[in-house]
Amino acid sequence: MLQTNDFSFYWYYLSDAQKKTGDLEQSLNSIDKALTFHLPYPSRELLLNKQQQVAKLLSDASSNNKVVIDQKSGDVTGDGFINTVYLTGEKTEGSPFWKNISLEIINEKTNMYEIIPLKENAGYNPTIFLGDFTGDRVDDILIVIDTGGSGGTIYAYVFSFIEGSMRQIFDADEYNERTKYEVNYQNQYKVTVLSSDPKKKYLLDLMYKGQEYLSEIYNENGTLKQPIKGWVDPIGGLYPIDFARDGNYELMAIQEIAGRYHADGLGYVENVLKWNVHAFVTDRQNVSIFGEDLPS
């Protein structure tokens, strides 16, 4: 179509699409082509601004060896215009590990370009999700990065446009610090899990673990041979879910319950986190357990 309909607006929209897919060099080429017309679309001034913006993106990426890891499009500022949201970073050669990860936002209306540093900016499989967590009908930004540790934990952040600026409203590390658990083995093949927020107690039955496992830690009469404490991991999974199907997302935070050692999994604590105007708070909490395999 571009060969038979060589108009400025085609090159403008092609440049826009190329920028959104991270093909910055081709985006610049398309802008240059659009500028060759006598009356370029949408205007020479806007095209020159766009050219500077894309050139800066390309320069930053080249100087820092950064590439686009993930990107999404949505209205994250509430002005009714689509923004492009990027995660950029440096790939470690021969490894899936990323470093110097940053959040970058382009406002398509104003051509403004914003870089937001992340507190923890290295890890595996960085991803972006856009959705409304705060109930204002504007997309918020969820970033999740795998730490790569043996516990399968994550770094996670939520950013929201509040009072004219992009603000961080959730940090998984801060959440982990304020939510505490106690895991204690009890007599008669039981484990109690105590949650500090909300204040809850759960009782897990270990009979499904089998005789070999139980005989290592219990006497024949069901009493403990010695006190044993387990623990609850930091968040290992954080998932956006629209439970009410009303366009407002909650966060499902999943944390593994470990027994004597990490591979000795006892189940998961699941917290549904909901925005309450000031912070994400636990709307409801459950514990899920593993089932016993039945003979086929």
* Each residue's pLDDT expressed in tens, for the chain with a length of 296 residues: 444 456 888 888 888 888 777 777 788 888 888 878 878 888 888 887 877 777 777 766 665 678 889 999 999 999 998 899 999 999 888 899 999 999 999 887 776 788 999 999 999 999 999 999 999 999 999 999 999 877 789 999 999 999 989 999 999 999 999 999 999 999 999 999 999 999 999 999 999 999 999 999 999 999 999 999 999 999 999 999 999 999 999 999 999 999 999 999 999 999 999 999 999 999 999 999 988 888 88
Examine residue 294 and state whether it is found in any structural domain, yes or no: no
Examine residue 296 and state whether it is found in any structural domain, yes or no: no
Predicted confidence at residue 64, as pLDDT, reads 62
Residue listed under structure tokens 């009782």: 203
CATH of the domain at 69: 2.40.128
Q: Domain boundary at 133, 167, 201, which?
A: 167
Residues 159 and 73 in one domain: yes
Examine residue 295 and state whether it is found in any structural domain, yes or no: no
Query: Cα–Cα distance between 218 and 186 in angstroms, integer?
Result: 10
Residues 136 and 191 in one domain: no
Residues 280 and 184 in one domain: yes
Residues 231 and 263 in one domain: yes
Examine residue 26 and state whether it is found in any structural domain, yes or no: yes
Q: Count of domains in the chain?
A: 3
Q: What residue numbers bound the domain in which 186 lies? A: 179-289
Structure pTM? 0.80
Q: Domain boundary at 15, 47, 63, which?
A: 63
Instruction: Name the pairing type of β-strands 280-289 and 265-275.
Output: antiparallel
